[in-house]
Structure 1
Amino acid sequence: MADNNNISPANNDTELARLIGESLPDLSKLDQTQDPLLPHLFSYKETVTSQTVSINSEALWDSISGEMNNPAEKARVLQLSPAVKRYLMAAAVLIIALVGSFMYQSYLSPVLIGESFASAEVIELQDGSTVTLRPYSKLFEIDNTNASAMYKLEGEGYFEVTPNPDRIFSVQTVMAEVQVLGTKFVLSDWGSTSSVYLQEGRIRYTALSSNQAIELEPGESSSVTENVQSPQIQSVNEDVFTDWLNNELVFRNESVEQVFSELEQHYNIQIQTAPEVAGEFLSGTIGLDSLSTVLRDLELVLGGTFTQTGPNSYVFNPGE
């Protein structure tokens, strides 16, 4: 390594570098007369220093603040073309509609308020009305205000509605709706059929798919199926609709298919049979004490046997 203390006096540039290094950081300690190059260096330093711009921080901030608060600039930044405004308004309306639809659907979402299993259950509503649910049926509340009470039924139920002329009481099934003021009626929704029977009062029965409606008087019934969307008034025996309330099954010239469908609802089972058996017609009364007793009685009437094929499924085979 070179020895900086043994620099040749004849090397002027090296000697000048050594002097500058020893005087740092205060170059004023240098004697400008020691080297002819030093005056030129100091002169250049003063020239550069004199060109340095002095920054006034307060003036600089006032300038920035003025630009930020300039109304003209604000208007320029926020100004939108008519096309963009239309797009933004349409988007806002769409968002509001979607949110409103979601809130409305959430508000009207059915809430389960009653359910029956192996036996009938009596549900008392807030207005004092009662609903007797047939086994394996469900009742949902859709809306309940001073002006209306709306419910949804799955299965079958016997309704005793407290009279209130200022309030609309309605019950929906998958295919139909019943509107009442004060009445007693039976509404069912099983076997691909929605049926209603009016015991007292007055109801309006509407097929939801066709929006066709009829008004029923006491002792009348009507029904809607997947293929029949125009409800018709029928006069029937009351016990055909209220039989299960007495724990029995009454059928008057009913098809075997209809009888099996009613048993499927009442016991939460499935029954399969040949088409020629399903098309036969029966009349009579069967007690609904137990499923085994009912199946045994039907075996005697139909002349065949029931075979259990699963936890809740049966097949009826006619005798030879």
Structure 2
Amino acid sequence: MADNQNIPPSDQDLQLARLIGETLPDLSGLKNSADPLLIRLFAYKNSVSQSVEPINSTAVWNSIHSEINTSSGSARILHLSPAIRRYVMAAAIVMIALVGSFLYQQLTAPTLVGESFASAETVTLPDGSAVTLRPYSTLFAMDVSDKSAKYKLSGEAYFEVAHDPSRTFSVRTDQSEVRVLGTRFILSDWGNTSTVYLQEGRIQYTAINSHQSIQLEPGQSSSVSETTTTPEVNSSEEAPFTDWLNNELVFQNKPVQSVFNELEQHFNISIEAQPAILQETLSGSIPLDNLGSVFSDLGLVLGGTFSETGQNSYVFKSNS
């Protein structure tokens, strides 16, 4: 290739450089390319993913350029113009920078400490605290030290926190945060709402969006959603919050939408229904032995049937 700026659009190397530029910042679409330059770039990416040494862009390019020009077989000889060379170098450096970003995220990523699937699982934390995870829930350790323990919950869990006045214990969801010293509480994060119920001790409950906090006493609950600015204290019966620990669902004047949301979490499914049905309220209890019996019981109460529409997807239709 001539070393000038007037490279025809059909030039193979120019097309390659443009392709790299067009796919940034997500370069995954280039992994299946047979182009020797890209093969060397991804080989280098894989090699540096095992190291956290500083990146020397000049050395990177010289190494790649040398490998391509001395490779046997069908690899072509590349003599890129300054303009195109800078373009491809930039793409290579961005690719490697993405690897560095990935490594940093891996080093700072939360650590999975507990996960449940079709049944509840109990996890014992290093400080002796016990966490019972509702089906299809996960617990991550964010930052655990001698002075504090910070966790992240997705789903729902029952926490029995070991008392330690010298160490704070906190759990975050997407909507809220709970801070305690030693207590028992239920925290959920499903249906676009985070709800906490305090069984024993004392907690501080904070809405993430507004940073507004309240103090809860035993027997009190509070909820936070995407639209909540200030959490409110509610006096509540314990059974509707601890019911799943006994493998049942208890509801008292609860909207059907909320019942469906809870079933979606518990069985890892999705349920669709007409808005009129979702606004109705229910009171009672049903065992959570299996999804079929749950749908049968609810169908009788609501006057309709549940039908499967896809994998883990259902729709409720009224008989009327």
Same fold (TM over 0.5): yes
Residue 110 of structure 1: how far off its partner (Å): 1.1
With over 3 angstroms needed to count, the CA separation of the structure-2 counterparts of 1:146 and 1:107, relative to structure 1, is farther
Between the aligned partners of 2:168 and 2:108, the Cα distance in structure 1 is 16
Residue 106 of structure 1: how far off its partner (Å): 6.0
Provide the residue aligned with 1:240 in structure 2. Answer: 240
Between the aligned partners of 2:179 and 2:107, the Cα distance in structure 1 is 21
Residue 250 of structure 1: how far off its partner (Å): 0.2
Provide the residue aligned with 2:205 in structure 1. Answer: 205
Between the aligned partners of 2:205 and 2:274, the Cα distance in structure 1 is 34
Provide the residue aligned with 2:116 in structure 1. Answer: 116
Provide the residue aligned with 2:166 in structure 1. Answer: 166
Provide the residue aligned with 2:273 in structure 1. Answer: 273
TM-score by length of 1: 0.67
Q: Which amino acid aligns with 2:240?
A: V
Residue 228 of structure 1: how far off its partner (Å): 1.4
Between the aligned partners of 1:213 and 1:102, the Cα distance in structure 2 is 35
Residues 160 and 184, structure 2, Cα contact 8 Å, conserved in 1: yes
Q: Secondary structure at the match of 1:237?
A: coil
Residues 108 and 143, structure 1, Cα contact 8 Å, conserved in 2: no
CA RMSD of aligned residues (A): 1.5
Between the aligned partners of 1:316 and 1:250, the Cα distance in structure 2 is 20
Superimposed CA distance per residue, residues 42-67 of structure 1 (whole angstroms, 9 cap, x where no aligned partner): xxxxxxxxxxxxxxxxxxxxxxxxxx
Residue 244 of structure 1: how far off its partner (Å): 0.1
Between the aligned partners of 1:154 and 1:221, the Cα distance in structure 2 is 19
Q: Which is higher, the Rg of structure 1 or of structure 2?
A: 1
How many residues matched?
220
Between the aligned partners of 1:219 and 1:250, the Cα distance in structure 2 is 16
Provide the residue aligned with 1:154 in structure 2. Answer: 154
Residues 256 and 279, structure 1, Cα contact 8 Å, conserved in 2: yes
Structure 1 unaligned residues grouped into runs of 5+ = 1-100
Provide the residue aligned with 1:141 in structure 2. Answer: 141
Residue 105 of structure 1: how far off its partner (Å): 6.6
With over 3 angstroms needed to count, the CA separation of the structure-2 counterparts of 1:105 and 1:311, relative to structure 1, is closer
Between the aligned partners of 1:103 and 1:175, the Cα distance in structure 2 is 28
Residue 205 of structure 1: how far off its partner (Å): 0.4
Structure 2 unaligned residues grouped into runs of 5+ = 1-100
Provide the residue aligned with 1:81 in structure 2. Answer: none
Provide the residue aligned with 2:292 in structure 1. Answer: 292
Between the aligned partners of 1:318 and 1:102, the Cα distance in structure 2 is 49
Residues 254 and 282, structure 1, Cα contact 8 Å, conserved in 2: yes
Residues 153 and 172, structure 2, Cα contact 8 Å, conserved in 1: yes
Between the aligned partners of 1:303 and 1:162, the Cα distance in structure 2 is 46
Residue 109 of structure 1: how far off its partner (Å): 2.4
Residue 259 of structure 1: how far off its partner (Å): 0.2
Would you say 1:180 and 2:192 are equivalent positions? Answer: no
Between the aligned partners of 1:106 and 1:309, the Cα distance in structure 2 is 38
Residues 207 and 224, structure 1, Cα contact 8 Å, conserved in 2: yes
With over 3 angstroms needed to count, the CA separation of the structure-2 counterparts of 1:201 and 1:304, relative to structure 1, is same
Q: Which amino acid aligns with 1:124?
A: T
Give the fraction of aligned pairs with identical amino acids, expressed as a percent. Answer: 61
Superimposed CA distance per residue, residues 107-163 of structure 1 (whole angstroms, 9 cap, x where no aligned partner): 652111110000000000000000000000000000110000000000000000000
